[in-house]
Structure formats: structure tokens, C-alpha cells
Structure 1
Amino acid sequence: MARTDEVARPAEEGGAPPRFPFPITSALDPSPEYARLRTEKPVSRVTLPSGDIAWVVTRYEDVRFVFNDARFSRQAATRPEAPKLMPGVEGDPDSIVSKDAPDHTRLRRLVAPAFTVRRIEGMRQGIQTTVDGLLDAMEQAGAPGDVVSSLSAPLPIITICDLLGVPASDRDRFREWSDMMFRTSPDELESAVAARNALIGYLAAMVQERRAEPADDLLGVLIAARDNDDRLSERELVSFAGGLIVAGYETTANRLANAVLVLLRNPGQLEALRADPELIGDAVEELLRFIPGGAAGGLMRVAVEDVEVGGELIKAGDGVIAITNSANRDEAVWEDPDRFDITRKPGSHTSFGHGIHHCVGAQLARLELQIGIATLLRRFPGLRLAVPETELPWKKNVVIHSLEALPVAW
């Protein structure tokens, strides 16, 4: 499965910081460069695709420090003068992921009741019913089937659209918009921006329709917060809903497909999980730790004052990317971190972030992964790849390493 992405570039000549994201040899492993940096220079300057210079932080403890310290601002990263990862791509200042406290706290409190452990657990049966129906259709169509189109792509979009109250007839449109928004190729930038505008436009219209006909769903809760006590602006309302759809779909869909592939690549671990289905919780945590989250491995933050991290002085105004892909393979935290082991107790991996920006939908993503993987393995005990692994199609020019398809037989 050796491959390279167009976002991966060789080091700059003439002593300039190396280009980032670093080259990879496998979509299911972080760049080998991270292991070297953790040992030799855990906080390093890099050249971004935009041409800007920024810092990357690679050790687990330093990554958590950056996540948790208010001096590293997501809001500052949306300002025009801030360093940018990609050329021509501006952050959305109204998005919850771009907010600092106290605005982030205000927005998070609005949506947190929809993602409590009790409420998410109450979604279990509905998600199980969705998974059963999707796998019924895959089985009826006959082998070979495709895990991506049959399960990993539709499950998260169905779940998040149901949570927000998006009509079933519009799910495919949301999936297409979300897919395009994660493209990174310069010649697709215009299409990515158009997709984001289409999504925001649709949601703005949906908000107006829902005001005329209120409903008891998450979007209805957000509208009430906007209209009844002015706890968020109209732009924040629409951006918030759009962010939930994109985050709730794209990351979970790709994690699920990649997780199935990792299990198929590790037959001993797969058989251990089949023999003891109760391991599914630990298996999902290990899959979340083991599988890289994306090409960049983190969001841009900007230091709002001078801060020392890992022995390096980061100046106010400098861009910083805390690399979760590297933190999750830190030898100081996990023994033999490049080994996939579902009996491992992964502890606090950084795949859902840390601090105030810890993913609000983490428990929902876990539940979808647990039910999706467990049901797939139970329904298809002979599950195996239907093509050589080297022939698997991977999307190019995307933020998250994504399979176009995962053909399987049983």
C-alpha cells in the first residue's frame, strides 16, 4: 500500500524549514518523520503548503499542553494575517472549532445536552437498526460488496442528519458537499468553497423553514437558543449546524472504513475480537489511537503571547500545529506504539483532541464505530478483502486519508 499524496512534498533546499505535511509511505501509518522529530527536535519549524512558516509539536505531553493552554488560540488562526495551512483557505470565525473561551464555552453548552452519555446511549438501538439495514442490503446484493458505499459512508450521514432533522432525501447532497469541502488540491479549491457555500445556504434556508414549523431535534434546540434568549448569532447557528454535519460525517466515515482495513490486515487481532466480542470497546480505542487522523494531523493555532514548549520559544503570532498522529505513537506513552494491539489499554489518546476543544461528538463516534464493526464481523464471519491490498483505491488531495472503496468478500 505504498503511496504518496500530492500534499506531501520534499524538504526545501537552502536550509529553509522542511515542507509539511511530511511524505508518507502508508495511508494507515503516520509519516516516519514524526518518530525522528520526537527524538531529535520535538518542536520544529516547517514550511506549509501556503508558503507560511509554522511550528509542529510532536510529543504527546507537548501536544496536550498546546491543546489545553489558552495562549494557543484557534480564534487568532482565523484572522487574515495569521499563517494558513493551505493557500487561499480562510477559517470560519463563526465555527465552534474556531472559537476560544468564553465564546466556545457558550456555544458548547448549547449543544452539550444533545451529546450526553445517556442521550447517546439512547441512540444505540436506532444506530443498530440502521447498521442492520445497511448490511442486509450489502448481503442481498451479494459478494463482492463495498464496505465504504454500503456501511462506512451512509451510517454517519444518516445518524448526524437524523440528529439535526435533515430530510432523508437530502443526505446524499450533504455527503457530496462534505466530501468536496475536504479536498486540498489547488485546482479544486473553488469547488471546495462552492460546496461550503452550498451547505451553508441550504442550512440557512432550513433554519427559516424550521422556524415556521418547529421540531424537537438538535437544529430546533439551536434555533430556540437563537430566538428565545439570543445565546448565539444567526451566523453562529448556521455555521454550528454545518460544522456538526461535516465533522459528524467525514471523520467517522473514514475512521470506520480504515478500521475495517486495519483489522483485515491483522488477522490475529481480528480473530481475537471475533473470539471475544466484549473487546470491541478496547478495540475501537486502539483503532482510534493507531489510525492517523489526516495528512496534517491537527488544526492551526496561533500563539497570542510568547510561550516555551519543548525547549523552544514560540513567539506571539507564530502558527502551531499539535500533531495528534505523532502524539498517538509516542514511545514515552505506549510500549511498542507502532504495533496494533486490541488488548492494549490505550489510555487518553489525542484523536478527539484535548481540553476545551475535545470533540463534543466523541461518544457518538465511538458508538457508531463499535456497532458498525461488531455487527459487520458478526454478520460476515468470513469477511476478507476481495482485491489485493495494493489495488485498493485511495482518495487523493484530501485532508483525511480516505478509501474510495473497500471491496470485500465473505
Structure 2
Amino acid sequence: MVAMSTAHTSADRVERTALGNGRSGWWVGDHAAARAVLADLRFSSAAAADPWVNRGRDVPLNPRSILGMDPPEHTRMRKPSLKLFTPAHAERLRGLLERTAEDLLDGLGDPPADLLETFVAPFTSAGITAALGLPPVDHALVRELSRPVLALTAEQAAGAGEAAARYAEFVHGLLRDPAAWGGDSAVAELMAAHDDPGEAVRMTAFMLVSGHVSTSVQLSNGVLELLAHPDQWRRLVAEPALVDRAVEELLRFTPPEAHALHPRMAVEDVDLAGLPISAGDLVFVCPRQANRDPAVFPDPDRLDITRESCPHVTFGPGRHYCVGVHLARVELRVALAVLARRLPGLRLAVPRSEVRHREGLQFRELFTLPVRW
């Protein structure tokens, strides 16, 4: 991994960052500056993913990933998915998601339980496979194979090549028999929309792992924060209509990224928040800091599920705005609503300090989420 300083909390919230590969970099935790970087084509994703730029990183970025592309290639790759993953498409899945959540809680057994393995992971896996039109998958295997691919450190990236090959074969296996997913499914339309079958497979693989892993991380961390702030959990239980606001506040308060979004590189000199960013500088947008900018969010370090205005940057506004945003929101709303109704006495089964995250990964994945009710 490129070594970065950890002092990212200065008053101006845009700081120089020490990079281990000798390049200059900036850490952006200012809300307005973060949105500017994500919207400005002068900050290039493709340039940041260039193999030459990534020399010295423990884990080089993947230039073939859609996250490492710029328009027009990025636009072409993304367009078919945007046509499919609409608000209406997500709403059509609401009934299935509600039934899935109810069924999972029916089978929960006696407390204590690991809510991550018994509810969160199978629920989010069911959501993305249904959205794509794929048969159910082994969600534990998807998470296992994704970890080396989503690694930020050499230790976590051990075996990444083998994991990527196994995951590619896993996805090829899902797509090998069109009869298993049907001719009118989203994945069928994706396959038809891409002239290159390999592109369609890569896009499906990307959406499956990001739709499962990132939403699973968001939901598990969101539940953790609600239970760590029991007044907020009790408020949600008492006022179910707050679920939409609760989801947006949790997206702000505890975004899934461990550190930053996919880096950008300035391709020309740019003034950012009054600071001179030079061509060739890498820029890292940190949602966790931008989402707590006091200029935008009053009392930003307080979790408040009644917060009315919540313009967070968790979904990466700009050209890389999350394709699955509508599905993710419906999943999170359904899951929290069902949990609050079915398990109003939900609480952590261990002290908060004993609930640990895996280190060295792109997302803040929990080991377990032990609960009682």
C-alpha cells in the first residue's frame, strides 16, 4: 500500500499526504472539495490506476476495473447498468427483500447470535443476486474471494491472483447456463448490451461483489452504531417512519470505505480549496471526513437519525456515482425496518470494544456482530 500520513483533521481539511512511492498526494476531507474532485475530469481515475503510477504500492490498482476508467470508456461500460438499476427496479424487489428478512429472522434461533452471518450477509447477498437475476450464491465464498482482491496491504493481498482467478471462474460458472437466470433478467440484458462478452462478465463480477460486500459492510456497521447509541435504536423502534432518515444518517456517519475512495490523479495544475494541486499529484477523497465537515453537518460527530439534511458523499457523487445506489437504499431501509419491528430489544452481546474490524481492506468489514435481544 502507498504509505499515507494519518493526520487528516486540520482546520482546512485538505492536506498534503506522504506517499511511499515518492509521489505527491493530497488527502481531501473537506465536503466541497471532495465533491469538486469527484466531479472534475481534471482529476483522472485512469491516470491514478496506471501501472507506472502504481509502482511502489503493495497492492497496485486494477486499470481494467470500471473504477479505474475515465469517459468515454467509463461511460460506455456504465451505461447498460444505469438503464437497469433504476429506482423502479429497486422498488420491485422490496417485497422479496421483506420476505427474505422475515424468513432469516424466523430462523435466527436463540440468542446470542452473530447477526452478520445469520442475517446481514445472506440478506444482502439475496438482494444483489435477485437484482441481477442470478440464482442464490454462496455468500461466504464471495466474501472470502473478495478480500484479497479488495486488499490495501501486502498481508491481506496474499493470494490475490489465485482468489481473482477463483472468483472469475465462480462468476463464469454462474453465467454458463443462461437457463438458470432467464432471458429477461438484468444479467441477460447486461450480457446482450456488451459487445465483448468478457466485459459483460467483468461488469457482472464487479456488481456482484460490490453489491454484496459494500452493502453488507454498510448494514453491519450501521446496526453496530445504532446499538452502540441505544437512544437512537430506541428512537427508530418507537418511530418506524424515521427509517429513511436513519439510513442516510448511517451512510454519513459510518461509510463503508476504510480510508478513501478510488484515488484520482490531477492531469493538470488545479486550484482546490485555494491550494495548488500540481499535475501528477494523487488525490484521495475520504468520505468519513467529508461527511463530518462541520460547515455542512451541524454537530457532525453525533449520530442523529432525525437529521433532516444529509448530503453525504458516501456513494461518490460525480461520474463514478454508485450504480447500485437505489438497490442499496431499499435494502438498508427494509433491513432496519424489519429488525426494529421484530427485535426491538436488540443489543450487543459483548462490549463495543470487542467488536473488531478486519484490517488492511478497502471496506470496514466486521469479523462478527454478536447480538442479543
Calculate the TM-score normalised by the size of structure 1. 0.85
Match of 1:351 among 307, 310, 314: 314
Alpha-carbon distance in 2 for matches of 1:88, 1:169: 27
The alignment status of 1:70 with 2:38, answered yes or no, reads: no
Q: Which residue of 2 aligns with 1:3?
A: none
Alignment pair present for 1:117 and 2:74:
no
Aligned to 2:4: 20
Partners in 2 of 1:130 and 1:211 — Cα distance? 23
Deviation at 1:21, TM superposition (A): 5.9
Query: Aligned pair 1:299/2:250, yes or no?
Result: no
Q: What secondary structure sits across from 2:17 in the alignment?
A: strand
Deviation, structure 1 residue 372? 0.8
Out of 203-212 and 102-111, give the one that drifted further.
203-212
Counterpart code for 1:158: A
- With over 3 angstroms needed to count, the CA separation of the structure-2 counterparts of 1:214 and 1:85, relative to structure 1, is farther
Q: Measure, in 1, the Cα distance between the counterparts of 2:179 and 2:16.
A: 49
Q: Does 1:210 align with 2:178?
A: yes
Deviation at 1:235, TM superposition (A): 3.3
Identity between Structure 1 and Structure 2 (%): 36
SS of residue matched to 2:26 = strand
**Aligned-partner Cα distance in 2 for 1:85–1:116:** 40
User: Does 1:190 pair with 2:164?
Assistant: no
1:235 is matched with which residue: 198, 202, 206? Answer: 198
Distance in 2 (CA, whole Å) between partners of 1:293 and 1:387 is 22
State how far apart, in whole Å, the 2-side matches of 1:328 and 1:392 are. 23
1:320 to partner: Cα distance: 1.0
Distance in structure 1 (CA, Å) of the matches to 2:185 and 2:144:
23
Separation of aligned partners in 2, 1:121 and 1:50: 46
Relative distance call for 1:21 and 1:205 in structure 2 (3 A) is farther
Alpha-carbon shift at residue 290 of structure 1 (Å)? 0.6
**Structure 2, gaps ≥5 residues long:** none
Identify if the C-alpha distance between structure 1 residues 74 and 169 changes in structure 2 by more than 3 Å, giving closer, same or farther: closer
Give yes or no for contact 2:42–2:268 (8 Å, CA) kept in 1.
Answer: yes
Tell me the residue number matched to 2:106.
136
Post-superposition Cα deviations, 1:259-318, rounded to whole Å, max 9, x if no partner, equal 111111112211211111000000110000011432222211111211111222222222
Q: Any residues of structure 2 matched to 1:232-271 within 5 Å, and which? A: 233-271=196-234
Per-residue displacement from partner, 1:373-406 (whole Å, max 9, x unpaired)?
Answer: 1111111121111112222233222222221111
**Structure 1 residues 170, 276: closer, same or farther in 2, change over 3 A?**
closer
In the alignment, what sits opposite 2:371? 408
Task: Quote the offset at 1:212 in angstroms.
Answer: 11
Any gaps of 5 or more consecutive residues in structure 1?
1-6, 10-18, 23-32
Deviation at 1:173, TM superposition (A): 2.7
Partner in structure 2 of residue 223 of structure 1? 191
Q: Please tell me whether the aligned partners of residues 149 and 163 of structure 2 are also in contact (alpha carbons under 8 angstroms).
A: yes
Separation in 1, partners of 2:107, 2:182: 34
After the TM superposition, which residues 255-334 of structure 1 pair with which residues of structure 2 at under 5 Å, given as runs? 255-334=218-297
Paired residues in the alignment total 373
Q: Counterpart in 2 of 1:35?
A: 9
Q: Is the 8 A contact 1:54 1:83 kept in 2?
A: no
Q: 1:84 to 1:250 in 2, by over 3 A?
A: farther
Cα drift, residue 203 of structure 1: 2.6
Displacement of 1:205 in angstroms is 4.9
* TM-score (norm. length: structure 2): 0.92
1:390 aligns with 2:353: yes
SS at 2:258 equivalent = coil
